[in-house]
Amino acid sequence: MVDTTRPGQVPPRERELTDRIARLEVQVNELLGRDMTNATVGQGGTFRGLYDNGQLAFSFGRNKDDGVRKSTLYWPSTGKEALQVGPGNPNTNPPELEQLRMRDQSNNIVFGTDGIAGYGVVEPLLDYAMYPIAGLNYVAGVPQACCQAQSFFYNAALWSSILVRNFTGTITSLTLQLQLRHSDGSIAAVQSSTATGVAANSTIRKIIAVPEPYISSQFTYLEWLITANGNGTVDVFPRMSRGVSRSFYDIAAGDQ
């Protein structure tokens, strides 16, 4: 093929290549000068940002643990997860709806919402001080609160245990039940199943679901109810009262 390019002219093929490079430069400059206000990451994509030291600062994309796309912030010193929010783990039973969790610099979870319940927190699992009510004389067949914890409750379930000892009078056995109630009755009380035929020197534990209206509600009581078979007194010793995840609620049906 004869080259018909005149002296001082750019050959057609080179000119086409030069024009394409010029157009690409314009597009790149437009992208570099464009803000990210309306940027959208498509399905399957991942969006990341870095700190000045090169550590990962944030990301939005598929989580390696459960395969769900989530937003994550990272610690600048280690690049480890600091805060994560997004849909919950679909592999739990029942599946988590959504979850937010926070980790410290040592990668310990210090705060997390209860993705099973859809409200309340799963971390921290808070302990609540429960005290016996002194001077009680039990009348046969009449339920009485024997010990109470008054607090703001933040976990979606509560787990408590109690030791009963030293029956006096005509008491031969007890029926025990864990109850959560509001002091003015504005929120319906909730109760666990009952433990019947409880003998002296027995430790009973129950788990109770905390309805959403009780979360962070003032003037709320967690209490053990005793219904005595006979009249007399009983020594009660609260052993533990702790907030737990709703995922704990179905561990032992007899403890509910």
Which residues are 84's β-sheet partners? 72, 101
Per-residue pLDDT reduced to its tens digit, 45-96: 788 889 999 899 998 888 777 778 889 999 999 999 999 998 887 877 778 8
**Do 228 and 194 lie in a common domain?**
yes
**Do 86 and 176 lie in a common domain?**
no
Quickly state the pLDDT bin for 130 (edges 50, 70, 90).
very high
pLDDT at position 222 over 90 = yes
**Do 216 and 179 lie in a common domain?**
yes
- Residue 13 pLDDT: 65
Task: Find the mean pLDDT for residues 204-216.
Answer: 92
Number of domains in the chain: 2
Quickly state the pLDDT bin for 154 (edges 50, 70, 90).
very high
- Residue 61 pLDDT: 85
**Do 151 and 188 lie in a common domain?**
yes
Task: Tell how strand 109-113 and strand 190-191 pair up.
Answer: unpaired
**Do 141 and 184 lie in a common domain?**
yes
**Do 204 and 91 lie in a common domain?**
no
pTM: 0.73
H or E element, residue 26: helix 12-33
Task: Tell how strand 235-244 and strand 190-191 pair up.
Answer: unpaired
**Do 149 and 229 lie in a common domain?**
yes
Lowest mean pLDDT among 3-12, 37-46, 67-76, 227-236: 3-12
**How far is 173 from 144, CA to CA, in rounded Å?**
14
Which SS3 state, helix, strand or coil, does residue 135 take? coil
Which domain-ending residue is among 113, 142, 157?
113
Q: Find the CATH number of the domain harbouring 205.
A: 2.60.120
The closest of 120, 122, 97 to 109, measured between CA atoms, is 122
| 15 backbone dihedrals φ, ψ, rounded to 5° | -65, -40
**Do 142 and 238 lie in a common domain?**
yes
**Do 182 and 92 lie in a common domain?**
no
**Do 246 and 151 lie in a common domain?**
yes
Quickly state the pLDDT bin for 104 (edges 50, 70, 90).
very high
**Residue 229 maps to a domain:** yes
Which domain-ending residue is among 83, 113, 143?
113
The closest of 190, 188, 164 to 176, measured between CA atoms, is 164
The closest of 110, 139, 99 to 246, measured between CA atoms, is 99
**Do 214 and 136 lie in a common domain?**
yes
**How far is 254 from 202, CA to CA, in rounded Å?**
16
- Residue 253 pLDDT: 45
Lowest mean pLDDT among 27-36, 150-159, 163-172: 27-36
Q: Which residues contact 65 (CB under 8 A, 6 or more apart)?
A: 89
Which residues are 72's β-sheet partners? 59, 84
Per-residue pLDDT reduced to its tens digit, 158-168: 999 999 999 99
**How far is 130 from 240, CA to CA, in rounded Å?**
8
pLDDT at position 10 over 60 = no
Residue 92 DSSP label: S
- Residue 178 pLDDT: 95
**How far is 16 from 12, CA to CA, in rounded Å?**
6
Structural domain harbouring 76? 47-113
Mean of pLDDT over the chain:
85
User: Using CB atoms within 10 A of its CB, is residue 241 exposed (0-12), middle (13-18) or buried (19+)?
Assistant: buried
**Do 137 and 109 lie in a common domain?**
no
| 169 backbone dihedrals φ, ψ, rounded to 5° | 70, -135
